[in-house]
């Protein structure tokens, strides 16, 4: 395998070199770190880590200088081509002075002059999902707050260059980034974090794989601040081991392991019937799995305790991360994690989808479920619920239709769709169920205009961007009574509901009945409340919260640099004396 980074013109990657055998050796060494810490002691391990970090810094110093020079050159060319106003034009780069001054240094304008390098660790940056929206919105907020900062994205998407990625970001998310200060460094070790690489002990294997990938990233460039936006907590711990002066930040979409996962193994627990591993803690294999998960959770807790700044995408994730990492974060004297809700295209949906008395006449009795055809999305539950709902033969279900819209990633998803079609046929609801695979955004918008109810059947959905989109489009949501949809999104406004919660198929069927049988004035009122509720999750709100946390990392970096300079001055003074 080989290391690569962006070419100066942003077209084809430049190849360096990290061999397969080096990767295998590296994962063996990294896998032995916990035992080495116990046998050799933390001080020796820190010394070894610092030595390796020093080696990596020297190794990548030339590339860092090249990237800084390239950024400066691109900035000059950009301003010549666009003009100074083009860099921050009113359409694509709105004025954010109201929240971009921040709190560091009393919000003085001088703070915006910070020109360090922020490394964003997101190996699947071109995937186009909700996690990627967070990444690009975070980079845009960072660029606005610190225009001279450089944003490095560590990615494994070798099939696309910088221009293609940024074009897709604009098309898919309507997020316009400032190209000169964005650089992509291409990783070649991404396969190490794929579940298919680790058919057994997948959690541990992927975590070890993330360490290989992190070494790959640091072999390309050592950033001034390192931020993980995909959930690779072990990579952040490695960063701390190698570079004690590099602040680390995490945006956690979901914990790698959670207390709910652990309890779901026990069939007698409240979660014993939920999730893909429900009730699998019995027998010798089940007991072994439980012990393995518990040991992994302890290791994960130590790793999470070392991260400087932790953001989570929801209250549910925050509570689980706090439960797992809280004690160790106190031990390491790190601040408590905070919830930073992900950005949703609320404003775009408000423009595209009308919610009024006139639009009510265009709505149809359609139940819309937008979700990838993954196992955890629990489409089977919704099909069963819809069958129960249709069997009641009430006025509410006359001409009702269930529309399943989602992407198909691979053969596994295709097989799952085939099985769902068979299920619909067996339930005798085939004529009232539609499947729309890999629908385009205009198609999705059209369904959001026509549908009346938005559905989410996943247990413990960590946040639920799709549910926010339902609300922004004025749909009445019927969602699983758990996770982010319950705690953060489908909540009351002014003491009045914005949707319905359910757990069983019968409860979902009752939710469908309640939503569709509301009188016209009450139905419109709930739609308007839902839309108002969605305003809490705009890109602007995300940017404010993101900047507040990034300022903490910038301050830590400033302090680290100041301490280093102070030490160098003192050392020179002693030598002179």
Confidence of residue 3 (pLDDT cuts 50, 70, 90): very low
pLDDT at 231 over 60: yes
The confidence score (pLDDT) of residue 45 equals 75
pLDDT at 143 over 70: yes
Please check whether residue 328 lies inside any domain of the structure.
Answer: no
Of 248-262, 327-341, 368-382, the one with minimum mean pLDDT is 248-262
Place of tokens 């979660």: 271
Question: Is the distance from CB of 404 to CB of 369 less than 8 angstroms?
Answer: yes
Number of domains within the chain = 2
The confidence score (pLDDT) of residue 280 equals 60
The confidence score (pLDDT) of residue 36 equals 57
Rounded average pLDDT over 101-122: 70
> In the predicted model, what is the mean pLDDT of the chain?
86
Angle (nearest 5°) at CA 146 between 563 and 245? 25
Rounded average pLDDT over 413-431: 95
Rounded average pLDDT over 394-422: 92
Please check whether residue 45 lies inside any domain of the structure.
Answer: yes
- Compute how many other C-beta atoms are within 10 angstroms of the C-beta atom of residue 195: 11
Please check whether residue 492 lies inside any domain of the structure.
Answer: yes
Of all residues in the chain, what percent carry a pLDDT higher than 90? 67
Bigger pLDDT: 283 or 494? 494
Rounded average pLDDT over 78-98: 55
The confidence score (pLDDT) of residue 275 equals 56
* CA 454/CA 351 separation, integer angstroms: 19
* CA 329/CA 304 separation, integer angstroms: 7
Torsional sign, CA 86, 171, 177, 343: positive
Question: Is the distance from CB of 121 to CB of 232 less than 8 angstroms?
Answer: yes
> Are residues 54 and 181 both part of a single domain?
yes
pLDDT at 246 over 50: yes
State CA 542 to chain mean position distance.
13
Q: At which of 244, 279, 306 does a domain end?
A: 244
* CA 557/CA 102 separation, integer angstroms: 16
pLDDT at 13 over 60: no
pLDDT digits 0-9 by tens, 509-565: 999 999 999 999 999 999 999 999 999 999 999 999 999 999 999 999 999 999 887
Q: What is the CATH number of the domain that holds 489?
A: 3.40.50.2000
Confidence of residue 97 (pLDDT cuts 50, 70, 90): very low
> Are residues 236 and 355 both part of a single domain?
no
Of 155-159, 204-208, 249-253, 569-573, the one with minimum mean pLDDT is 569-573
Rounded average pLDDT over 189-205: 90
Question: Is the distance from CB of 375 to CB of 418 less than 8 angstroms?
Answer: no
Among 63, 57, 60, which Cα is nearest to 246's? 57
Rounded average pLDDT over 303-330: 95
State CA 566 to chain mean position distance.
38
Confidence of residue 265 (pLDDT cuts 50, 70, 90): low
DSSP string, 185-242: EE-S-GGGGSGGG-SSSHHHHHHHHHHHHHHHHHHH---SEEEESS--HHHHHHHHHH
Q: Could you tell me the strand order of the sheet in which 14-15 lies? A: 14-15, 4-5, 182-186, 150-155, 117-121, 225-228, 248-252, 309-312, 338-339
Q: What is the 3-state secondary structure (H, E, C) of 445-507?
A: HHHHHHCCEEEECCCCCCCCHHHHHHHHCCCEEEEECCHHHHHHHCCCECCECCEEEECCHHH
Q: Coil, strand or helix: which one is 278?
A: coil
Beta-strand relationship, 4-5 and 248-252: unpaired
Structural domain for 233, as ranges: 1-80+115-244
The confidence score (pLDDT) of residue 289 equals 80
Confidence of residue 442 (pLDDT cuts 50, 70, 90): confident
- Compute how many other C-beta atoms are within 10 angstroms of the C-beta atom of residue 280: 17
Q: At which of 244, 260, 289 does a domain end?
A: 244
* CA 156/CA 210 separation, integer angstroms: 12
> Are residues 180 and 63 both part of a single domain?
yes
- Compute how many other C-beta atoms are within 10 angstroms of the C-beta atom of residue 158: 14
Place of tokens 């994730």: 317
pLDDT at 14 over 50: no
> Are residues 50 and 192 both part of a single domain?
yes
pLDDT digits 0-9 by tens, 44-60: 778 888 899 999 999 99
pLDDT at 196 over 80: yes
Please check whether residue 292 lies inside any domain of the structure.
Answer: no
Please check whether residue 456 lies inside any domain of the structure.
Answer: yes
> Are residues 395 and 508 both part of a single domain?
yes
Please check whether residue 387 lies inside any domain of the structure.
Answer: yes
pLDDT digits 0-9 by tens, 27-44: 555 555 555 555 556 677
DSSP string, 17-55: ---HHHHHHHHHHHHTHHHHHHHH-HHHHHHHHHHHHHH
Please check whether residue 318 lies inside any domain of the structure.
Answer: no
> Are residues 41 and 170 both part of a single domain?
yes
Confidence of residue 157 (pLDDT cuts 50, 70, 90): very high
Q: How many residues does the chain have?
A: 577
Q: Coil, strand or helix: which one is 9?
A: coil
pLDDT at 309 over 70: yes
In Å, how far are 57, 167, 527, 530 from 176, measured between CA atoms?
Answer: 32, 9, 30, 28
Of 72-86, 147-161, 385-399, the one with minimum mean pLDDT is 72-86
DSSP string, 384-426: HHHHHHHHT--GGGTT-EEEEEE---SHHHHHHHHHHHHHHHH
pLDDT digits 0-9 by tens, 466-510: 999 999 999 999 999 999 999 999 999 989 999 999 999 999 999
Please check whether residue 70 lies inside any domain of the structure.
Answer: yes
pLDDT at 401 over 70: yes
């Amino acid at each position: 395998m080989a290391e690569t980074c962006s070419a100066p013109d942003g077209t084809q990657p430049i190849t360096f070199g990290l061999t397969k055998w080096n990767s295998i050796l590296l994962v063996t060494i990294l896998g032995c770190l916990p035992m080495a810490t116990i046998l050799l002691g933390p001080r020796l391990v820190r010394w070894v880590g610092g030595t390796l970090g020093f080696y990596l810094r020297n190794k990548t110093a030339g590339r860092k200088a090249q990237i800084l020079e390239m950024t400066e050159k691109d900035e000059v060319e950009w301003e010549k081509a666009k003009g100074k106003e083009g860099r921050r034009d009113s359409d694509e780069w709105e004025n954010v002075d109201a929240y971009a001054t921040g709190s560091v240094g009393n919000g003085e304008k001088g703070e915006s002059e910070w020109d360090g390098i922020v490394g964003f660790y997101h190996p699947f940056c071109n995937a186009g999902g909700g996690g990627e929206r967070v990444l690009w919105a975070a980079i845009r907020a960072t660029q606005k707050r610190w225009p001279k900062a450089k944003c490095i994205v560590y990615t494994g998407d070798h099939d696309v260059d910088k221009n293609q990625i940024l074009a897709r970001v604009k098309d898919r998310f309507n997020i316009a980034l400032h190209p000169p200060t964005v650089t992509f460094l291409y990783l070649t070790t991404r396969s190490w974090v794929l579940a298919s690489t680790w058919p057994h002990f997948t959690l541990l294997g992927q975590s070890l794989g993330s360490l290989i990938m992190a070494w790959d990233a640091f072999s390309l460039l050592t950033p001034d601040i390192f931020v993980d936006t995909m959930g690779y907590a072990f990579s952040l711990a490695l960063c701390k081991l190698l570079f004690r002066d590099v602040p680390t930040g995490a945006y956690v979409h979901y914990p790698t392991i959670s207390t709910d996962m652990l309890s779901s193994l026990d069939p007698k627990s409240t979660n014993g019937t939920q999730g893909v591993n429900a009730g699998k803690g019995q027998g010798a294999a089940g007991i072994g799995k439980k012990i393995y998960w518990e040991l992994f959770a302890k290791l994960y807790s130590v790793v999470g305790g070392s991260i400087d700044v932790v953001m989570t995408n929801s209250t549910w994730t925050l509570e689980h991360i706090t439960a797992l990492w809280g004690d160790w974060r106190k031990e390491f004297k790190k601040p408590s994690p905070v919830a930073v809700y992900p950005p949703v295209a609320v404003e775009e949906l408000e423009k595209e989808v009308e919610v009024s008395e006139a639009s009510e006449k265009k709505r149809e009795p359609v139940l819309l479920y937008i979700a990838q055809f993954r196992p955890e999305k629990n489409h089977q539950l919704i099909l069963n619920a819809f069958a129960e709902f249709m069997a009641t033969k009430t006025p509410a279900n006359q001409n009702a239709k269930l529309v399943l819209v989602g992407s198909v990633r691979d053969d596994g998803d295709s097989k799952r769709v085939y099985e769902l079609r068979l299920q619909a046929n067996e339930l005798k609801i085939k004529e009232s169920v539609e499947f729309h695979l890999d629908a385009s955004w205009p198609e999705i918008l059209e369904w959001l205009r026509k549908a009346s109810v938005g559905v989410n059947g996943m247990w413990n959905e960590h946040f639920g961007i799709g549910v926010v989109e339902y609300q922004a489009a004025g749909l009445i949501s019927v969602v699983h009574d758990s996770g982010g949809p319950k705690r953060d999104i489908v909540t009351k406004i002014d003491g009045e509901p914005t949707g319905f919660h359910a757990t069983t198929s019968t409860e979902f069927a009752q939710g469908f009945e309640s939503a569709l049988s509301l009188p016209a004035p009450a139905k419109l009122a709930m739609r308007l409340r839902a839309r108002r509720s969605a305003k809490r999750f705009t890109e602007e709100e995300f940017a404010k919260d993101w900047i507040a946390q990034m300022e903490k990392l910038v301050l830590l970096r400033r302090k680290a640099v100041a301490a280093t300079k102070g030490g160098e001055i003192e050392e020179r003074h002693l030598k002179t004396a």
